[in-house]
Amino acid sequence: MLGAPPEGTRFGLPDEAAARVRIVTTLQTLFDSWGYALVDTPVLEHYDPAHPRAAQSFKLSDRDSGVLALRSDFTPAIAHLVRSHFDENAPQRFQYCGKAWQAINPDFARTREFTQVGLELTGISNPRADAELIHLAREAVREVGLVPRVELGNPGFVRALFDLAEVPEDSQETLANTIDRKDVAGLEEMLDSYKLSPDLKAALLGVADLYGDVTILNEARQLAPWPETLRALDDLEAILAEFEDLDELLLDFGRARRLSYYTGVTFQAYTFDFGQPLLGGGRYDGALLPYAAGFTIGLERLLLALPPHGDYTPPLILSLDDAGARRLRAAGYRVERGLFANVDEARAYTLARGIPYLLSDAGLEALTKNKPEYDDLLNLLEANYV
Amino acid sequence: MSDPDKFTLALPKGRVMEESLEILQRAGLTLTLNGKGRALRFDAGDAIIIEMRNSDVPTYVDLGVADAGIVGKDVLVESGRNVYEPVDLGFQACRLSFIRPKGASGPVRRVASKYPHIALTYLRGLGNSAEVIKLSGSVELACLTGLADGVVDIVQTGGTLRANGLEEVDVIMQSSARLVVNRAALKLKAQTLRPLITRLRELAGSSQKTPI
């Protein structure tokens, strides 16, 4: 029995594989043009129970009884690379591309083996650096041919509200998730159990609805006019001030996932008529490095959002004439070597494989009615015979 | 890019569909099922309606095939899907409870439910390591036949429980119909969905008014 590959993994057939190379090249060229150097990190990592996705890691036992894990993202490894080889307090720009693994429940129809293309800007923390990443996130979506919308948030805003409201530590995560889901009814129920000033309660209720274009910054200022919350808004405004046009940027102050991990701006990119984020990132100073921010693109998501690829085409010529094939390849043509000595068999194979030309002892033969390359190929073959 | 004002709405079959259409129409959407017949995907005017089992609604909305949908909070929590749930529509109110035969005092070793994830989370929260089995039909039967020591199921009036000698031991959560919205759609189709959310909150009750 043939069976299927493990849940959440799949084969990439020629068309998809070619599209992947094209998209990855496009992204890597963009990042490289901004000074992000490509680096490689090991697939095998030491298992770290403190990793936020430790529960979802694929684990392997090492021979000395240590536990290894397949990488589930690149950020810890890049941080390790920076700490061990570079100055962690000076700007460093790195990009990466490779597979990562998460042992999530396959019921959720998400792949468990996936490809991440991303970058990290470490050693510096300022609005200019944040804006560079957000700009590159927007450009990355545009470069692959989609219309980008990048949504920014600042978890510092919700954190400041939690501090002001003295939300108990053990209910912070539930409250943050309720805000993140924009579950205003659930939020109201939770807030009723705290003794809050009407202003603070209104702010915590309202934060779930603080999303839209940049004009909501003013709404946020009115809703939460405390120094701590205003500071979070000022931080975001300073990033926006770096942009010449704000058209494709959106804000959502209700983005409250992983409150304790992200220390500054967070962002995700969307495109029209595709219901899932194409990339996500943010600033996480102090978590793994003194200063670091970055984003990751889910390559498989991106490929799903793009129209059908049609990247792979069969070679142009099937050749039974090795000398002729060499000449054509030298001129840049893609030539497959015929493995059947019999010309009729070779012709049948060529037709079935969708290859337009057959080169044999009998000369060059076009198998399709439309044969735009025929004269060029013939000239090459004849010119070189002289 | 498709028509920016039109959106796709996932609705469960049956009574919830009728109640959903009614509140959406009161919220100002022009929706008609005239000519729908047996079509599962139907252009109803202001929205394209896709009709499905209630437990599939969170999946369609999370993965972005539908921009929005209406589904019970119980089904939504059970699904574990990551969607926005900006409006509690109020109808289809019920509670999800832990139910045992009246007077039962023995250990809880096996629990049956249509909501295995919720049941498991509830039991583990109590420090109970009972086995949880998923059933699809009337789970009360599991209690009556001794298949399980208790069940986790929805209770509306409690009539079925009393008729079968069962009692509610604990209320796990309250449930009612929610408007759920895909994360990207809320932002990219905001000009359509935001006003709809505001109107639905006004219709659904005083408590959820947009504070700004």
Where in chain A are the domains?
Answer: 14-305, 317-385
Contact list in B for residue A222 (CB cut-off 8 A) is 212
Mutate to test the interface with A, among B65, B81, B82 (most CBs of A within 10 A): B82
Give the pLDDT confidence score for residue A370 in this predicted structure: 86
The distance from CA A209 to its chain's CA centroid, rounded to whole angstroms, is 27
B97, B206 contact by CB (below 8 A): no
B143, B167 contact by CB (below 8 A): no
Backbone angles phi, psi at B110, to 5 degrees: -145, 130
Give chain B's mean pLDDT: 90
Task: Please report whether residue B193 resides in a domain.
Answer: yes
Mutate to test the interface with A, among B8, B202, B207, B209 (most CBs of A within 10 A): B207
Task: Please report whether residue B60 resides in a domain.
Answer: yes
Query: Looking at CA atoms only, how far is residue A314 from chain B in angstroms?
Result: 32
B88 and B11 belong to one structural domain? yes
B118 and B41 belong to one structural domain? no
| Contact criterion met (CB < 8 Å) for A108 and B85 | no
Q: Cα(B210)–Cα(B212) distance, rounded to whole angstroms?
A: 6
B50-55 mean pLDDT:
94
Q: Locate tokens 């990207």: which residue?
A: B184
Query: Looking at CA atoms only, how far is residue B185 from chain A in angstroms?
Result: 6
Q: Does pLDDT of A260 surpass 50?
A: yes
Describe the strand order of the beta sheet including A44-46 as a list of residue ranges: A44-46, A67-70, A59-61
Query: Looking at CA atoms only, how far is residue A87 from chain B in angstroms?
Result: 38
A108 touches chain B (CB under 8 A): yes
Q: Which of A185, A212, A273 sits opposite B2 (nearest CB)?
A: A273
Describe the strand order of the beta sheet including B47-52 as a list of residue ranges: B41-43, B47-52, B7-12, B68-72, B177-181, B84-88
Q: Which of A183, A275, A276 sits opposite B85 (nearest CB)?
A: A183
Q: Cα(B49)–Cα(A242) distance, rounded to whole angstroms?
A: 42
Query: Looking at CA atoms only, how far is residue A302 from chain B in angstroms?
Result: 14
A151 touches chain B (CB under 8 A): yes
Query: Looking at CA atoms only, how far is residue B77 from chain A in angstroms?
Result: 12
Q: Give the number of other CB atoms < 10 A from CB of residue A197.
A: 10
Task: Please report whether residue B135 resides in a domain.
Answer: yes
Give the pLDDT confidence score for residue B211 in this predicted structure: 45
Task: Please report whether residue B159 resides in a domain.
Answer: yes
Using a CB–CB cut-off of 8 Å, the residues of B that contact A are 1-2, 59, 61-65, 67, 80, 82-88, 181-188, 190, 194, 201, 207-208, 210-212
For A360-384, write each residue's pLDDT tens digit.
988 999 998 888 999 999 999 987 5
Q: Which amino acid is at B146?
A: G
What is the span of the domain harbouring residue B63?
7-92+176-208
| Contact criterion met (CB < 8 Å) for B184 and A182 | no
Identify the CATH number of the domain in which residue B162 sits.
3.40.190.10
Query: Looking at CA atoms only, how far is residue A242 from chain B in angstroms?
Result: 23
A205 touches chain B (CB under 8 A): yes
| Contact criterion met (CB < 8 Å) for B85 and A275 | no
Pairing state of beta strands A292-298 and A113-122?
Answer: antiparallel
Q: Which of A108, A181, A273 sits opposite B85 (nearest CB)?
A: A181
Q: Give the number of other CB atoms < 10 A from CB of residue B77.
A: 20
Give the pLDDT confidence score for residue A155 in this predicted structure: 93
Torsion angle (degrees, nearest 10) of CA A316, A318, A321, A325? 30
B109 and B84 belong to one structural domain? no
Give the pLDDT confidence score for residue A234 in this predicted structure: 96
If you write DSSP's letter for every residue of chain B in order, what string do you get? ---TT-EEEEEESTHHHHHHHHHHHHTT--B--TT-TT-SEEE-BSEEEEEE-GGGHHHHHHTTSSSEEEEEHHHHHHHT---EEEEE---S-EEEEEEEETT--S---EEEES-HHHHHHHHHHTT---EEEE-SS-THHHHHHTS-SEEEEEESSSHHHHHTTEEEEEEEEEE-EEEEE-HHHHHHTHHHHHHHHHHHHHHH-GGG----
Over pLDDT 70: what percentage of chain A?
98
Task: Please report whether residue B2 resides in a domain.
Answer: no
B85 and B184 belong to one structural domain? yes
| Contact criterion met (CB < 8 Å) for A272 and B84 | no
Question: Nearest-CA residue of chain A relative to B61?
Answer: A275
B87 and B184 belong to one structural domain? yes
What's the complex ipTM?
A: 0.88
Q: Cα(A297)–Cα(A277) distance, rounded to whole angstroms?
A: 9
Task: Please report whether residue B130 resides in a domain.
Answer: yes
Q: Count how many domains chain B has.
A: 2
B88 and B114 belong to one structural domain? no
Q: Is residue B196 very low, low, confident or very high in pLDDT (cuts 50, 70, 90)?
A: very high
B29-36 mean pLDDT:
84
Contact list in B for residue A186 (CB cut-off 8 A) is 85, 88
Of the given ranges (A51-55, A284-288, A342-346, B175-179), which has the lowest mean pLDDT? A51-55
Beta bridge partners of A271: A148, A274
B162 and B187 belong to one structural domain? no
B79-102 mean pLDDT:
94
B107 and B184 belong to one structural domain? no
Q: Which of A182, A184, A275 sits opposite B185 (nearest CB)?
A: A275
Give the pLDDT confidence score for residue B210 in this predicted structure: 47
Burial of B89 (0-12, 13-18, 19+ CB in 10 A): buried
Query: Looking at CA atoms only, how far is residue A267 from chain B in angstroms?
Result: 13
Mutate to test the interface with A, among B71, B191, B212 (most CBs of A within 10 A): B212
Q: Locate tokens 């650096």: which residue?
A: A129
Query: Looking at CA atoms only, how far is residue B210 from chain A in angstroms?
Result: 7
Structure tokens at B115: 């909501």
3-state secondary structure of A15: helix
Give the pLDDT confidence score for residue B44 in this predicted structure: 86
Calculate the alpha carbon distances from B119 to A11, A379, B92 in Å.
37, 76, 20
Q: Does pLDDT of A386 surpass 50?
A: no
Q: Does pLDDT of B38 surpass 90?
A: no
For A180-218, write each residue's pLDDT tens digit.
999 999 999 999 888 889 999 999 999 999 999 999 999
Maximum alpha-carbon separation in chain A: 95
A223 touches chain B (CB under 8 A): yes
Q: Is residue A105 very low, low, confident or very high in pLDDT (cuts 50, 70, 90)?
A: confident
B82 and B102 belong to one structural domain? no
The H-assigned helical ranges of chain A are 14-33, 75-85, 127-143, 155-165, 169-180, 184-192, 198-206, 216-223, 227-240, 299-305, 322-330, 343-353, 374-385
3-state secondary structure of A151: strand
Mutate to test the interface with B, among A223, A273, A300 (most CBs of B within 10 A): A273
3-state secondary structure of A64: coil
Describe the strand order of the beta sheet including A317-319 as a list of residue ranges: A335-337, A317-319, A357-360, A363-366
Q: Which of A202, A275, A277 sits opposite B63 (nearest CB)?
A: A275
Does the domain formed by A14-305 have CATH 3.90.1150.10?
Answer: no
Q: Is residue A107 very low, low, confident or very high in pLDDT (cuts 50, 70, 90)?
A: low
Q: Cα(A217)–Cα(A235) distance, rounded to whole angstroms?
A: 11
Q: Which amino acid is at A225?
A: P
Of the given ranges (A254-268, A283-297, B74-88, B101-115), which has the lowest mean pLDDT? A254-268
If you write DSSP's letter for every residue of A342-386 in order, what string do you get? SHHHHHHHHHHHT--EEEETTEEEE-SS--TTHHHHHHHHHHHH-
Q: Does pLDDT of A358 surpass 90?
A: yes
A248 touches chain B (CB under 8 A): no
Contacts of B81 (CB under 8 A, 6+ apart): B58, B59, B61, B62
Calculate the alpha carbon distances from A31 to A120, A136, A162 in Å.
10, 8, 37
Burial of A271 (0-12, 13-18, 19+ CB in 10 A): buried
B22 and B70 belong to one structural domain? yes
Q: Give the number of other CB atoms < 10 A from CB of residue A10.
A: 12
For B117-142, write each residue's pLDDT tens digit.
999 999 999 999 999 999 998 888 99
B79 and B104 belong to one structural domain? no
N-to-C CA span, chain B? 31
Q: Cα(A368)–Cα(B164) distance, rounded to whole angstroms?
A: 76
Q: Which amino acid is at A295?
A: F
B137 and B180 belong to one structural domain? no
Of the given ranges (A7-11, A19-23, A51-55, B206-210), which has the lowest mean pLDDT? B206-210
**Could you tell me which residue, A7 or A156, shows the higher pLDDT?**
A156
For A274-318, write each residue's pLDDT tens digit.
999 999 999 999 989 999 999 999 999 999 999 877 889 999 999
Calculate the alpha carbon distances from A3 to A6, A9, A108, A111 in Å.
9, 13, 21, 18
Contact list in A for residue B83 (CB cut-off 8 A) is 181
Task: Please report whether residue B57 resides in a domain.
Answer: yes
Q: Which of B64, B190, B194 sits opposite A275 (nearest CB)?
A: B64
For A144-172, write each residue's pLDDT tens digit.
999 999 999 999 999 999 999 999 999 99
Query: Looking at CA atoms only, how far is residue A181 from chain B in angstroms?
Result: 4
A236, A265 contact by CB (below 8 A): yes
Q: Which of B1, B187, B208 sits opposite A273 (nearest CB)?
A: B1
Closest C-alpha among A147, A260, A114 to residue B184 = A147
Q: Cα(A98)–Cα(B123) distance, rounded to whole angstroms?
A: 40
| Contact criterion met (CB < 8 Å) for A275 and B1 | no
Task: Please report whether residue B147 resides in a domain.
Answer: yes
For B138-157, write each residue's pLDDT tens digit.
888 998 898 999 999 999 88
Q: Which of B80, B187, B212 sits opposite A270 (nearest CB)?
A: B187
